[in-house]
A and B are shown apart, each in its own frame.
Chain A
């Protein structure tokens, strides 16, 4: 097999990584079809690209069975400034691994991730993650929890406090700044989690099934709140979710992942104008878009037997 120069260096990097030998078989397929990988921009947009992912492959070695699993297979995705992109797919399809790779928490074996044209290798201040579990520091009050990221990067306490009170108001928890996390409800805790990420003013906000641990009513309320919040702060957001309605309501684009190993089945533009209201869920257009997304996921599940 002949490969040109830049690919050789990626290959070398790949071989040096721990999982390399185990994923080697998979690599052949990747290299073969690499040149075919489509880089077409599906929707023309003149906003600058904030997050660029090219031919991303993430595999991991199961230390118990010694088996290699390829979780993400050659995924390319461009997210533009201020865009809200959701990734939906079956559970275990590798979408969370994909998000963790963008966060820098999981090493990728092949391909590249760039934020503002800078290569990602490891966690960084340009990205912030909101996980499914609030995971607030139980010994810190709400305000100090929100400023955790800022304090890590060495912001002065007085300045951080000022920021904290701004975000406490933004997530409508005014008066709760000096409460401990255990005094808050699940929904309130998740709002603090969100504020903690926003306070860092990241270039890209990553949401990993942010409302999955909440009850149905709270989830519904939180979706509306996040919708309003995102339109207010105008962040570039990538969200992984199981909820198709959540994805359609919040996003500019819905990316559908196949069963594992994940690649992109479809990239759907959500036509609703902004600012949106939660009420659009009741419209015919919303419902037909949801069922369209669902049919693609369902069709793939039946072929792959991925359930």
Chain B
């Protein structure tokens, strides 16, 4: 019996990857240089636009004096609690909605209505209910992150291969065994997609909620720096949020790929 041959990535494919990487990074570098020049030659009021070099300096100073860490910890807590709560409620709820048709019929329209409502518009209410502290922000993160999870897992249940269920039944599998051996593995890629979307929405939620009201967190730091014309500090805050967002996305993508090894290479992710 012959061994299955796995072809290594061709040289042409490797070269193409390097070229696109170079193109992508050179656009960013050109942009940063142009921005710096705009500032150095005072073509636009420097107060409004800051400069990459100033942003780096501001970043270093807020790291040194501990402001960044203080605000970062608050934002991380708000995001963390809200995100985990979204998973705890969203994962089983989404699966149940997809699994039980009656449940979907009852809750589907309500969820669609909630999803269409911009959560941040409810922020004044949350402040009235939960105050200016951490709780209101956790609720915003929870409500921002939960819907992508619910929707994705519900869709996952509808992609279950009926032939596999037929086979499982023929082997005498009960409802719970079918759920565990077919529904859960099927849902995994959808869970990862849901988690990635939820991370993005949750991050947005936490920053906007902090800008809205309160006295702590990265969002508050950005808002305060903006209203006192410290544009370099605004950019420094935004940079931190962007880095966190990208690393979360990359990490979840890696985790997803790890669980996706069984998929054929041609499958759409």
Contact = CB atoms under 8 A, between A and B. Distances in A.
B163 interface: yes
Given A105-B169, A152-B177, A183-B264, 7 more contacts: A103-B170, A124-B172, A137-B181, A149-B171, A179-B4, A182-B262, A200-B171
Interface in B235-269: 261-264
Interface of A: 103, 105, 123-125, 128-129, 131, 133, 135, 137-141, 148-149, 152-153, 172-176, 179-183, 200
Given A176-B1, A180-B261, A152 B163 contact: no
Interface residues of B, number: 23
A135 B1 contact: no
Interface string B172-205: 1100010001100100100000000000000000
Interface of B: 1, 3-4, 161, 163-164, 166-173, 177, 181-182, 185, 188, 261-264
Contacts, number: 63
A133 B170 contact: no
A128 B4 contact: no
A31 to B, nearest CB: 32
9 contacts: A105-B170, A124-B172, A129-B170, A131-B166, A133-B163, A139-B262, A174-B1, A181-B262, A182-B264
Q: Which label, helix, strand, loop or mixed, suits the secondary structure of the A interface?
A: loop
B167 A123 contact: no
Given A135-B166, A172-B1, A125 B172 contact: yes
Contacts of A200: 171
A128 B262 contact: no
A137 B185 contact: yes
A171 to B, nearest CB: 11
Contact of A138 (B1, B167, B168, B263): B263
Contacts of B4: 176, 179, 183
